[in-house]
Structure 1
Amino acid sequence: MSPLPRALARANRHVLNKVMSRLAPHLPGFALLTHVGRTSGRAYTIPVNVFRDDDGAYRFALTYGRGAQWVRNVLAAGGCTVSVRGRRATLVRPRLEHDPDRAWAPPLVRVLLGVVDVPDCLVLEEKR
């Protein structure tokens, strides 16, 4: 099984993202991520799942794969901003990581990501 299908991503963009955009900044494990389009220069804001490492790095599971537009935009721009639980942070130095064991994820999330076969994550550091 591969990461979630693109058709599901399109449906989420039009339905679920509208609902989650209101809830994400206040829920544990969620954030609003703002990135800039590579060609349009337009700012886009999307709800995402986010996890913090012990060292403070932010990790985003790539449920739609490494080729998702938001991932490509963050990599091209060298960063993004997130709103997490009422706090806004600027994130920099994006890097892709492949971890088939998903050791960085909480136990339940690790299992769910295994079911949908998501071994990749995007890692960013908070700008100091």
Structure 2
Amino acid sequence: MKPGPVLRAVFRAPVWLYDHGLGRLLGHRFLCLTHLGRRSGRAYRTVLEVVGARDGEYFVVAGLGEGADWFRNLRARPPVEVVIGARRFAPRHRVLSEAEAVEVFARYEHRNRWVRPVLHRVLGKLLGRPYDGSAEARARMARQLPIVGLREAGSGRPG
């Protein structure tokens, strides 16, 4: 089922901000990832929530799982660019291990504890079963919804 024109416009609004040099208004909570289509080679931009950052690496969740187009594109070709705040860089990426993903998401949940009921409801919908924030539920989430680390190419830990 494809979203209607109004919903598509809502989802594209953050990309519009980046297109017009206003992405910095979203701060470091979101980033704009430019990636290449795995078949077409066409450049696409996707705005993703940053669920964590450490040592110059930004973590984003493939909220639709391994079937997310941007995630499948990264599997086929390296990402082109990341814009976060006023920073723009050519990235390299890696998919976090289950243990790393659980740790990153535990910190994200702790930082956002005031919206925990909403977060748990949304994650339950994405995962197809109730999500309660337990260690078991978090591990299941890490297996179903990959977390990708993005950092500037040529810096720090290898991808």
State the TM-score bracket (shorter-chain normalisation).
Answer: 0.7 to 0.9
Higher fraction of strand: 1
Residue of structure 1 aligned with 2:120, choices 114, 125, 128: 114
| TM-score scaled by length of structure 2 | 0.62
Higher fraction of helix: 2
- Give the Cα separation in 1 of the matches to 2:65 and 2:37: 18
Contact map agreement 2:32 2:83 (CA 8 A) in 1? yes
Q: How many aligned residue pairs are there?
A: 121
| TM-score scaled by length of structure 1 | 0.74
Contact map agreement 1:79 1:94 (CA 8 A) in 2? no
The 1:61–1:104 alpha-carbon spacing in structure 2 relative to 1, beyond 3 Å, is: farther
- Give the Cα separation in 1 of the matches to 2:71 and 2:153: 18
Report whether the alignment pairs 1:67 with 2:61.
Answer: no
The Cα shift of 1:113 comes to 4.4
Report whether the alignment pairs 1:123 with 2:149.
Answer: yes
* Greater radius of gyration (CA): 2
Q: Which runs of 5+ in 2 are unaligned?
A: 127-140, 155-159
TM superposition outliers: structure 1 runs of 4+ over 6 Å: none
Report whether the alignment pairs 1:103 with 2:129.
Answer: no
Q: Which residue pairs with 1:3 in the alignment?
A: none
Identical aligned pairs, as a percentage?
27
Contact map agreement 1:91 1:124 (CA 8 A) in 2? yes
Contact map agreement 2:58 2:149 (CA 8 A) in 1? yes
Q: Which runs of 5+ in 1 are unaligned?
A: 1-5
- More deviation in 112-121 or 66-75? 112-121
